[in-house]
Amino acid sequence: MKGSRRAFTLPELLVVLVILMVLAGALVPVFFTARNAAKASSCMLNFKQAYLATNLYLSDYDDTYMPVNHQGPGNFDSKTDRTWVQLILPYAPDFGIFRCPADDSDRPRREATFDSDLVPGDTYSQYYTASLRTNLGFNFIYFSPIYEFTDHWASEPKISSDVSDPAGTFLFIDSVWALDENGLPTGGGSWLVVPPCRYDTTGVDSFYSDPTAQGVVFTNEADGWEVGQSASPLQYGLTWPWHSHRMTTISAEGSARTLAPSQITQGCDLESNWNGRILDSEKYQWDLR
């Protein structure tokens, strides 16, 4: 006798579907978390590779850090200028390390300057515009300040021995180029980031190490952090928490960490436009001293 074949009833199918939906709902956050963790790990690897490239550059240039760019303030292109990204690029595995995996916003591609600005025989000129949008923001005001003098400007990159606490000093931090009207990242990253505080409790300006300079040049027109301005890229001083409200950082000693915005302002009485004070120089992780 043939066995009877019994189909599922509608209530049974509904129960199975509900169970599958519950399981899917439970697993989606797990997959989302795992994906974000993978991006954060990949970003940290990028920072370490950029740090190694920087060290190779230092060994070739008498332990002197990279200038921000060659031409200084003004509008230049790949025919006449080089950025710090391009200067360490020959020591890096590829240009991809300068992009955070979590940043999927539109930005100029390296080919954007290939036709109009390509310098014959120069492999790296095509990266000029794209290098301005790297997600590795350089702590340039302390590592490679640009000073204004009476009749000229000059870039004065520091040497490695100028960094008194390499393990406690930021070299690169995750960054953003701009935010749209909804406060969402757009345009890629920023090659430069700015510190949250400038003066100590006695009013001494920490940006000046050359007493003959008339001023400090900010090539990205930044004027400090804009506290509370959620649609401004200066909300975090051009740094940006790409990884679950945390940002990747690497120190001058090579220690890579993911930190919350509040952690990169330690030792600083944060206020807009550098009106705050550096209260604890031991905890403040931007200044080289």
Q: What is the mean pLDDT of the chain?
A: 86
Answer whether 142's CB lies under 8 Å from 221's CB.
no
Residue 174, helix vs strand vs coil: strand
List the structure tokens of 140: 């340039």
Contacts for 244 with CB less than 8 Å, ≥ 6 apart: 36, 40
Burial status of residue 236 (CB atoms within 10 A of its CB: 0-12, 13-18, 19 or more): buried
Sign of CA dihedral 206, 212, 214, 217: negative
Q: What's the pLDDT band for 25 if we cut at 50, 70, 90?
A: confident
Q: Per-residue DSSP letters for 195-256?
A: -S--EETT--BTT---TT-SEE--TT---S--TT-TTSGGGGTTB--TBTTBEEEEETT--E
CA–CA gap between residue 278 and residue 202 (Å, rounded): 9
CA–CA gap between residue 162 and residue 200 (Å, rounded): 19
The reported pLDDT for the residue numbered 82 is 87
The reported pLDDT for the residue numbered 103 is 93
Task: Order the strands of the 215-216 sheet from edge to edge.
Answer: 153-155, 146-148, 215-216
The reported pLDDT for the residue numbered 88 is 96
List the structure tokens of 72: 């200084």
Q: What is the pTM of this model?
A: 0.84
Answer whether 278's CB lies under 8 Å from 201's CB.
yes
The reported pLDDT for the residue numbered 102 is 93
pLDDT digits (tens, 9 = 90+) for 242-270: 998 999 999 999 999 999 999 999 999 99
Which residue, among 32, 184, 189, 34, has the nearest Cα to 100 in the 3D structure?
Answer: 189
Q: What's the pLDDT band for 152 if we cut at 50, 70, 90?
A: confident
pLDDT digits (tens, 9 = 90+) for 109-129: 665 444 444 566 666 677 888
What b/e sequence results for 71-80 when a residue is b if at least 16 CB atoms lie within 10 Å of its CB, and e otherwise? bbeeebebee
Residue 123 DSSP label:
T
CA angle 7, 10, 14 (to 5 degrees): 120
CA–CA gap between residue 43 and residue 243 (Å, rounded): 9
